[in-house]
Amino acid sequence: MKRRDLIKAAGLAAAAGAAAATTPAHAAKTIRWKMVTTWPKNFPGLGTGANNLAKLINEMSDGRIKVKVYGAKELVGALEIFDAVSQGTAEMGHGASYYWKGKSRAAQFFAAVPFGLTAQEMNGWLYHGGGMELWEEAYAPFGLVPGAAGNTGVQMGGWFNKEINSVADLEGLKMRIPGLGGEVLKRAGGTPVLLPGGEIFPSLQSGAIDATEWVGPYNDMAFGLHKAAKYYYYPGWHEPGTTLECFVNKKALEALPKDLQVIVRNAIRVANQDMLADFTAKNNKALEQLVNQHGVELRKYPDEVLQKLRVLSDAVVREEAEKDPMTKKVYDSFVAFRDQAIQWHGVSEQAYLNARTLK
């Protein structure tokens, strides 16, 4: 009897061991993270970009990490996500770094610089030109690890309730425009206003602001901005390749096993590529709808206006760089890469695009 009991016990132990070996590690423990965003919940392009990133992390980790996305104001306010992740209220944040000028002036360079880098050039600078290392250095004092999590490509110039025929038309203009672009508008005589996405439409409709920039046709039509303004201007001189960000609480990231740390970082990188592809695929159709179905008046900024804005932009960006050593360090790297990219793209991308439109 004892021998039979011993054999039976050994068999049960072996079966238990085999079951444990075939049971996924995440079945015992799933890591649950919160992602707070500056975007309205499920907002096309930007909000869905955050959703896509959460899905990527879940799938790439085989369910070992599950990320729940909170839209603006669901957990914290749209412009409170930086502090929320820094303090550990949430593990991840999804937004745009120019919102955090008050935290770090250098942060603005990792979103968009007027007359700066395109999406392709931004990725080149970040991944292979030293930009990402500088970004991590800028966010280190806040206990955050940043990453490029999307790009809109060249944006539109904005929605206006009056025509812009000269630089004089910018004087006294109240426009929702963040970051360095807002400071340029101020130099041109306008009044920049910082508003989260969810407050733009009612402010424009009520006349609290005279104009707004947001993103491009795909996003702008989803917000219904064509119902609040008549004129739609291009190009987006202020945001030629806006990088969206995902920042992660450093302690939370480092607490993960090494393989999951790599998964989180690479999921962010995949999301960066996918968002640009999404905007590229959908913007033109949305623009056609705005013009042909909704009667939007598409206008190009006069050359005189663009030339003046470029001169002002160079001065604003240069002066901003002199305000602290970190910003100067980022500025020097950014400008050196931009000058290099201009040289190369002059005989590659730009030359090809010019050739493609020859009549």
- What pLDDT score was predicted for residue 356? 96
d(CA 1, CA 4): 5
Is the sign of the CA dihedral 112, 118, 123, 125 positive or negative? negative
The Cα-based distances of 208 to 1, 174, 191, 199, 254 in angstroms read 89, 8, 12, 11, 45
Q: Count CA atoms within 13 Å of residue 58 on its CB side.
A: 14
Walk along the chain (359 residues) and give the pLDDT tens digit of each residue.
455 554 454 454 444 444 444 444 444 589 999 999 999 999 989 999 999 999 999 999 999 999 999 999 999 999 999 999 999 999 999 999 999 999 999 999 999 999 999 999 999 999 999 999 999 999 999 999 999 999 999 999 999 999 999 999 999 999 999 889 999 999 999 999 998 888 999 999 999 999 999 999 999 999 999 999 999 999 999 999 999 999 999 999 999 999 999 999 999 999 999 999 999 999 999 999 999 999 999 999 999 999 999 999 999 999 999 999 999 999 999 999 999 999 999 999 999 999 999 99
Give one DSSP letter per residue of 284-323, joined into a string. HHHHHHHHHTT--EEEEPPHHHHHHHHHHHHHHHHHHHTT
- What pLDDT score was predicted for residue 198? 86
- What pLDDT score was predicted for residue 86? 98
> Which residues have C-beta within 8 Å of that of residue 6, sequence separation ≥ 6?
none
* pTM of structure: 0.89
84 CB-contact burial (10 Å; exposed 0-12 / middle 13-18 / buried 19+): buried
Tell me which residue has tokens 């995949």: 270
In order of their start, the domains of the chain are 28-151+241-280 (3.40.190.170)
